Amino acid sequence: MPTFSYTALSASGERITGMLSAASEQAVLAELESRRMTPVSVNPARERSTRRGRVSARKLGESYVQIGDLLHAGVPLMRSLRLLAGRKSQPRIASVYRDLADAVSEGGELAESMARRSDVFPRIHIAMVKAGEKGGFLEGVFTRLGGFVLSQAELRGRVVGSMIYPVLLVLFGVIILGVVFGVFVPMFKPVFERMTTLPLPTRLVLGTSDLVAGYGPYTLGVLALAGVGAWRLSKRADVRRKATEFVTFMPVGGPLVRALAGARFCRLLGTMLENGVPMLQAMAISKEAAGNVLMEEAIDRAIEAVRAGEQLAPPLAASGLFADDIVEMISVGESANNLEKVLLSVAETIEKRIDRLLGIVVRLIEPLMLMAIAGVVVVVALGLLLPMTQIGVEG
């Protein structure tokens, strides 16, 4: 819906400027008249900067903390936005806050202005800022929101950092096997062409070598098509659910996946409740940001339970995504009427477990990958040596 800027006179003759979203200029005029205001001018709002660009979560979280500190020091909101908009060291985020400052200066609300930059501000941030504006505690919202975003960025950084070594190990193994099947094995192929029968390991090794060395581009094309097909299948709800079930409950990585989903949900919900967002609205937003189909279904069941006057803990326990002690803590928090604090404490507890689980997973991946590479090398060695023994026997 388009946005219009207006200038109008109140019943007392005071000149008022602001912004309204409406279907047309006539709709804006009707809205102003319903408010007993006399329109002076109504114009389409000028377009904000449409420059799109990724703003890192860490930079965004730091900007929230800075706004919270400025507001705590008594700096007005408009001045705080202008200060962030003038930071030349971070031109991308400065451009975002310049848009916000311009919109707020024209009478718009901060949350509505953030909603126009949905490429930067997630829905959860907008909901929390809106609650802070309505409740008059915007300073606390930005401080807590900054802490939340920074903690999530820190957790994401730890996960990514812990997975760098396993990924490099996989790439190194693929390169080694590519050289073996693409360069080393073809050198032995003329030796085996004179033989009428070859052992099964040899046929497997030579067949794989043909795929890599003789039909490499076609093999890559088939693999690319298979990847595209798998990606398109993953968009189907039934396939995505099956894949999520497998990943969530698999023996090695499953506990880590469940811990990540649980920590994200608890921190999201706890932060929103602490900032005055109503329970059902906070749970609905947490569902959208969960990133796990099973978690979304569990939250759906929990929303229905809470709407019916029941507790949050039982549906979460039935999902199997939370450990028994975590569910018990949530249940105690509900009974003591301090659920938001308990949820944040639970998130910290789960994140500590994530650190331990990451260490275990990384330590397991290394020997498993080495064993897999060694197994392929053994198969290649058998495939090349078994025919040699037959040649020796025949000779």
- Displacement of CA 376 from its chain's centroid (Å): 36
CATH value at residue 241? 1.20.81.30
- Domain identity same for 142 and 182: no
Tell me if 38 sits within 8 A of 8, measured CB to CB: yes
Per-residue model confidence (pLDDT) at position 289: 67
Measured in degrees and rounded to the nearest 5, phi and psi for residue 49 equal -60, 125
> In sequence order, what are the beta bridge partners of 18?
6
DSSP 121-188: S-HHHHHHHHHHHHHT-HHHHHHHHHHHHHHHHHHHHHHHHHHHHHHHHHHHHHHHHHHIIIIIGGGG
Per-residue model confidence (pLDDT) at position 50: 42
> In sequence order, what are the beta bridge partners of 21?
3
- Report the distance separating Cα 355 and Cα 157, nearest Å: 11
- Domain identity same for 307 and 183: yes
- Domain identity same for 250 and 146: no
Tally of domains within the chain? 3
Per-residue model confidence (pLDDT) at position 67: 92
Residues in the chain, overall count: 395
Report which of 134, 131, 130 is spatially closest to residue 115, judged by C-alpha positions.
130
Q: What's the domain range around 383?
A: 164-395
Cβ-proximal residues to 293 (8 Å cutoff; 6+ apart), any chain: 237, 240, 241, 244
| Residue 106: strand, helix, or coil | coil
- Domain identity same for 283 and 319: yes
- Domain identity same for 220 and 330: yes
Q: What stretches in the chain show pLDDT beneath 50?
A: 47-51, 393, 395
Of 128, 151, 174, the last residue of a domain is 151
Task: Answer whether 0.85 is exceeded by the pTM.
Answer: no
